[in-house]
Structure 1
Amino acid sequence: MAQDSWPSPAHNARAVTDLEYERIAQRFSDNGIYGDPLFNDAVVSAGTGLNVNIRAFVRGSVRGHSWYSGTSTVTLAIAANASGSTRIDRVVLRLDRSDWTVRAAIRQGTAGAGAPALVQDNGDTGVYEIPLATVSILNGASSVTVTRTELYVGTRLRPCTSTTRNPSPTVGEQCFEIDTGRVRLYTGSGWITLYDDTGVIGINAPTVAWSNETECVLELRNGSVHLRLGSFTRAAGTLAGDIESRLPAIIPADYRHPTRDQYVPVYISGAQFGRVTVYSKANTEKAGQCWLTNKPTISNGQSVLTAASISWAVD
């Protein structure tokens, strides 16, 4: 068979069948309801007796076929249950290829067997269903309990730069910043980082009082900084126990905690212990600096060994 494409003057004089439309439109929009589960009311609610109600003014899409619930509530009947066990039905949004309509419908379950599986025929015929809610019907019940399970369309991953993110984003929108390599998500109140990875960054900052014996490094991954300070040797005479001293490492500005100082336990040669304070951006004089702040007297040539790596969030 030769290659083909549509719509096209060469393909049936631009006429497109329902099946051909589905094949090109199924990825125009993801399957689901337009909106989000936080800011939109449930599509399905319990009605009077053995009925469920479909909320008015709801829009969605199934395999590229648009659906609208209408301007008034739609009521769907639920079959009675006299089986002796609880039955779970599904309320679905169903594309029926026999007439190419999308309608809210009931997929009845089997008593005692949980919610029925969705039917999602991927061929040229049959139906394709997505979930709206589950309905619990107790044995002999005269009313139902509805649990919302709407599938929402969501948004696609948008390429941008760190300065050209969408100024009017919707909840759940994601973007990929090509200049930073970050994947970000909009929560409704701001952008958060889902993924980033700087690789290993050396942060040695030599001083005359200390020598670096092991390189100090950090790495930013997925919004968290991971710091390993390494080890140091005293190189400028005895340091009194009540005197603090800056170690030869500094955190770059982009990786400092905005408000909270961080603390790193250290071993000091001679079976002694101490603590290093890593200062946050909020400290105007020592921001990003690493100071040996709790310790005994340290003699020239003694070593300070980091006892643990630490992490903090920056985004």
Structure 2
Amino acid sequence: MGYAYPTTAHNDRAVTPREYEELVHPYTPDGLIGHPSDEPLVYADSTIMGVQVRAGRSALIRGLRWVSETGDTVPLDRNTTSGSTRIDLIVLRMTRNPWNAGLAVIKGVPSPSPLVPSPTFGENTSTGVWELPVAEVTVPYNASTAATVGPGQVVNRAWYVGGNGQLLCTSETRPVAPTEGTVVFETDTDLLRVWRGSAWRTYGVDLDVCPAVQVESTNAIGSITSTAYAAGNPQCGLDFVAPQSGKVFVTVSGVLSQSASGNNTRLGWEVRSGATVGSGTVVWGTSSVRGIAAGQAVVSGGPAQAQGSHRYLVDGLTPGNSYNVRTMHAVTGGTGSISYRSILVEPVVR
């Protein structure tokens, strides 16, 4: 038949701490309460061999609400191992025997190439512990009893629970050991990510920052005889911002003609760094395999003419950086002309 709680039929509505955890945690996420833009929970000011804790801050851990108090600190051991550095991990630790929550230190191992110790995250037993990462502290060698921890030695590693229960983090503070289907919003990238069991899957492109953009030119460019790619006058191009994936689709189109049999007219594109069209370092140079061509065979009495487009995936861009793209044209010989040029740039999610 089973049982339900809290009910009078089960322990007269009395709920044990373990039952409370099992009841509340499935719909209560773990994390600091707030936003990644908040001042970090712990910080160092070179006054103690440890870190200071900001008062009045809260966190949720396995259904318990923890609150920091005025004057809280977390002491650290000095690193007395010469020639080595240690990285300690500050965690919010919930213990089940006795039931409580508080800040604690997982001490790292001194080494020339130190590693960050791992929290216990997922030990679901009646006596086990559950730990949330809060900050990493680099502790260099210093045998002096006057050693302290400075501001530059502390790196925030906490994620947050927002006002509606959503998980908020940065790209550097995603939750440790998420379960399949965990959803986070990264405030530094404006991306939704979902843990699919083995990796984070990215959803969404900020179309306000990285919209699809297009430019076209009806100006015809005739008497093209150069076999080297050139932009022509007027040039046809635009600037864009690379999305978080670092990838965009570039589509070039136009109407091309060629006067000499056995030759063709080619229309491609190039991508440069910066927002000024035609300026900056070439990131993706013009290539015939990424463009269109017309005129290989010429009908007697007039130039061959064709209209077409070509779409190509451009990758390796730096997310958030500005770039510019413009059409480039050339002939293999003879005389060519180009009209109705256009460039389309579309952001790629992943």
1:22 CA displacement: 0.5
Which of 292, 302, 306 is residue 303 of structure 1 equivalent to? 306
Structure 2 distance, partners of 1:265, 1:87, is 58
Contact 1:92 1:133 in 2 (8 A): yes
Which of 113, 134, 137 is residue 136 of structure 2 equivalent to? 134
Structure 2 distance, partners of 1:119, 1:193, is 28
Alpha-carbon distance change, 307 to 148 in structure 1, aligned in 2, over 3 angstroms: closer
Contact 1:33 1:152 in 2 (8 A): yes
- Residue identity matched to 2:115: G
Contact 1:35 1:154 in 2 (8 A): yes
Residue matched to 2:57: 58
TM-score (norm 2): 0.51
1:134 CA displacement: 1.3
Contact 1:266 1:306 in 2 (8 A): yes
Matches within 5 A, 1:237-256: none
Structure 2 distance, partners of 1:89, 1:184, is 26
Contact 2:253 2:307 in 1 (8 A): no
SS in 2 for 1:116: coil
Structure 1 distance, partners of 2:3, 2:184, is 39
Residue matched to 2:148: 143
Question: Are 1:268 and 2:271 counterparts?
Answer: no
Contact 1:267 1:273 in 2 (8 A): no
1:308 CA displacement: 3.5
List alignment gaps of at least 5 residues for structure 2.
Answer: 170-182, 194-203, 223-237, 241-249, 259-263, 269-293, 295-301, 313-343
Structure 2 distance, partners of 1:63, 1:90, is 20
Which of 72, 88, 97 is residue 74 of structure 1 equivalent to? 72
1:269 CA displacement: 5.3
Residue matched to 1:312: 346
Contact 2:135 2:154 in 1 (8 A): yes
Contact 2:93 2:102 in 1 (8 A): yes
SS in 2 for 1:24: helix
Residue matched to 1:11: 10
Could you say which structure has the greater relative contact order, defined with CA pairs below 8 angstroms and 6 or more residues apart?
2
Report how many residues are paired.
218
Q: % of aligned pairs identical?
A: 28
Residue matched to 2:105: 106
- Residue identity matched to 1:117: S
Structure 2 distance, partners of 1:51, 1:193, is 35
Structure 1 distance, partners of 2:161, 2:62, is 11
Deviation string for 1:241-285 (max 9, x for gaps)?
589xxxxxxxxxxxxx9x9xx98333635433569xxxxxxxxxx
SS in 1 for 2:19: helix
Structure 1 distance, partners of 2:156, 2:21, is 27
Structure 1 distance, partners of 2:139, 2:4, is 48
1:5 CA displacement: 2.2
- Residue identity matched to 1:133: A
List alignment gaps of at least 5 residues for structure 1.
Answer: 159-169, 173-182, 196-220, 228-239, 244-256, 276-294
SS in 1 for 2:94: strand
Deviation string for 1:205-246 (max 9, x for gaps)?
xxxxxxxxxxxxxxxx8546599xxxxxxxxxxxx9589xxx
Structure 2 distance, partners of 1:184, 1:90, is 22
Structure 2 distance, partners of 1:80, 1:26, is 37
Contact 1:96 1:128 in 2 (8 A): yes
TM-score (norm 1): 0.56
1:82 CA displacement: 1.3
Structure 1 distance, partners of 2:187, 2:31, is 19
Structure 1 distance, partners of 2:80, 2:186, is 47
- Residue identity matched to 2:138: S
Alpha-carbon distance change, 242 to 225 in structure 1, aligned in 2, over 3 angstroms: closer
Residue matched to 1:291: none
Residue matched to 1:124: 126
